[in-house]
Amino acid sequence: METLRNQNCEMSAKIGELEPGLTTDNATFMPFILIDGHCRALVMFDHSMAFKYHVFLERSTEGWSGNGVDWTSLAEVVAAECLCALTEPVAYDSDADLFSARGCRSTLEKLAFQLQAIYRNDDAIRDLMSRVVAVRAVAPVKFDPQESTRALSYQSRRASRM
């Protein structure tokens, strides 16, 4: 059974063992799961990421591997391009085997619909990867040593791996 940990929450929720008032939507945004309750998150686990590894491996020389951190990079561009500036910000807490985005429910739903459409289309993933690389080439990498590693921007994380 997978465990979801959220540093902004005081509890750990095991998927399948729901706290009172916690709901999960496993079907609407598949392969993404919307968890709503004390800890609200949009997540995707590594077994779903594995179905798209072949797309990321095409650009493995650029540091892509198809893990949760790479999906966060894609989600950051989607959020910047597709979500209204008036929506609440999204915080990411992903690692190699988990994509996790936190925010208000309406923002997570909008992000989920966009990511789901991209997930279903390999060419859309490739296009989005190109835009991530373009943004990285134009925007200077900002690194603040006071900033937590989990909170680093995509550019900082990718630059530190290269």
Q: Would you list the domain boundaries of the chain? A: 3-161
Give the pLDDT band (50/70/90) at residue 123: very high
Top pLDDT among 88 and 13 is at 88
Rounded to whole angstroms, how far apart are CA atoms 29 and 35? 11
Cβ partners under 8 Å of residue 55, min gap 6 = 66, 122, 125, 126, 129
43-47, 54-58, 152-156: range with lowest mean pLDDT:
152-156
Give the pLDDT band (50/70/90) at residue 26: confident
Q: How far is CA 29 from the centre of its chain?
A: 13
Helix (H) or strand (E) holding 91: strand 91-92
Q: Please say if the pLDDT value at position 2 is more than 60.
A: no
The residue type at 50: A
Rounded to whole angstroms, how far apart are CA atoms 28 and 147? 35
What pLDDT is stored for residue 17 in this prediction?
47
Q: Please say if the pLDDT value at position 1 is more than 50.
A: no
User: Which percentage of the chain shows pLDDT scores above 70?
Assistant: 70
Residue 103 near residue 81, CB atoms below 8 Å: no
26-30, 73-77, 89-93: range with lowest mean pLDDT:
26-30
Where residue 109 falls (left for φ over 0; alpha for ψ -120 to 50; beta otherwise) is: alpha
Q: What is the DSSP letter of 15?
A: T
